Structure 1
């Protein structure tokens, strides 16, 4: 903290944060993009974090990527809010423990602002604030960063950016592999995008962590029949296409697939083909 603030008895939150952030520089390059809670809410704090912040404080970082709003749907693979952790790691090399603690507090303030924007249904702004928090929160604070990613995924889910929401949830569970809410949001996104097998796997993981989770229990009953129905439909479509191909090949010979009958051996479960004129 600067000597000016140390020698001042009364300063505002905004003055403190501006003083802490005035020399921070980030050159974050976006990564290539690959990749709700039932109450639709975001988490206000990470486990073990008692930091408090005023939602009236506004913080902005002058980064070109931050000024570009992600107004695109999942039809576009661009992801303007990717976090370059290599650059963050380089920026943290010479930081003292006190400086890392200060950055953590700033990230908590930004998260509070993101939560407020989410509650006000300002989802774009909430994404911006969570992203700013991720760009300043030291990498060593895994639980706090996991919450930031999970909260950001909630806003993306609201905006129907399911692919990017899945990516954020995946990052959250990489940081905290017991994070049930992140698995749940990802499972929801997978189900919405008809990735039913992946959704079922996330619900199974949730039950390993919390066997009493009602939504996961319900999904274990709901999804298997849907997966079986989908697989039967795909199988039927595939056989129809093979039949059309067979008819096209056999037509010059005056034959069709109707001339061939498949019979299953009840013992071996194998198939044999019988020809009939």
Structure 2
């Protein structure tokens, strides 16, 4: 799996979920082959994915093929590039007016047209187009897509404070608290007096700690379920094993207990 050309490293929770599902499928298949009763109460039923983005308003095709733009620009003169740049700026202004008038979907389309027209060498302007389009998407409850646009804006201008702030808020709203705090810290590198970022420095750490503790508890539960599936064919469960900590060394030992 890749994300913007980079290999995505799975989290511990994703690895455990994958192993658990594979083992459960194998055990269920083995039960059927051996004529054993299956325990459907342990079946993992995928929950409906909670889509926080609005499905009622379809966005226009907002994909920007920069390789295609780069190839197309090879045949353009400097004068033609400047003309395209000026037209893109006009579209940006049009998009701004549409946004102010509440025409958010229309403004997404207009900013997209500006991005398809503006030469790649005008990185600062393209960064603004992406950030403005992100604002329009936020108004349409398209948070994940807005995050992508903020990220692109930052790639084009790594000192774009407004894009960092916008993405930080989106990260927090989508429960990506560590990423949100990192963006707020980045804002403080450019503006040490930024009120939003200063408040986030105190607000987010305890929320991150609470989230991590919750994830830890959930992961331990998944590990226990995984252990029970592995031990099931032997008539055992994790209840047969107890971990005890040595008060002197701090190390742990595992003791086996037979159920009566």
**2:106 aligned partner:** 125
After superposition, residues 53-64 of structure 1 pair within 5 angstroms as: none
1:146–1:175 CA contact under 8 A, matched in 2: yes
Of the structure 1 ranges 92-101 and 226-235, higher mean CA displacement relative to structure 2 is found in: 92-101
**2:82 aligned partner:** 101
- Distance of 2:105 and 2:4 partners within structure 1: 21
**2:47 aligned partner:** none
Of the structure 1 ranges 88-97 and 118-127, higher mean CA displacement relative to structure 2 is found in: 88-97
Return the match for 2:133 from 152, 163, 174.
152
C-alpha displacement of 1:166:
1.1
2:60–2:109 CA contact under 8 A, matched in 1: no
Return the match for 2:147 from 163, 166, 173.
166
1:211 is paired with a residue of what secondary structure?
Answer: coil
After superposition, residues 8-23 of structure 1 pair within 5 angstroms as: none
Of the structure 1 ranges 229-238 and 93-102, higher mean CA displacement relative to structure 2 is found in: 93-102
**1:115 aligned partner:** 96
Pair 1:234 & 2:207 matched: no
C-alpha displacement of 1:245:
5.0
C-alpha displacement of 1:73:
4.6
Give the RMSD, CA atoms, in angstroms. 2.9
C-alpha displacement of 1:160:
1.4
- Distance of 2:157 and 2:143 partners within structure 1: 21
Unaligned runs of 5+ in 1: 1-31, 36-71
1:121 is paired with a residue of what secondary structure?
Answer: coil
C-alpha displacement of 1:94:
3.2
C-alpha displacement of 1:152:
0.2
1:273 is paired with a residue of what secondary structure?
Answer: strand
- Distance of 1:79 and 1:261 partners within structure 2: 57
- Distance of 1:119 and 1:34 partners within structure 2: 32
How many equivalent residue pairs? 206
C-alpha displacement of 1:268:
4.3
Cα deviations across residues 113-169 of structure 1 (Å, max 9, x unaligned)?
100111111110000110111111111111111000000001111111112111111
- Distance of 2:226 and 2:70 partners within structure 1: 56
Unaligned runs of 5+ in 2: 6-52
Pair 1:204 & 2:185 matched: yes
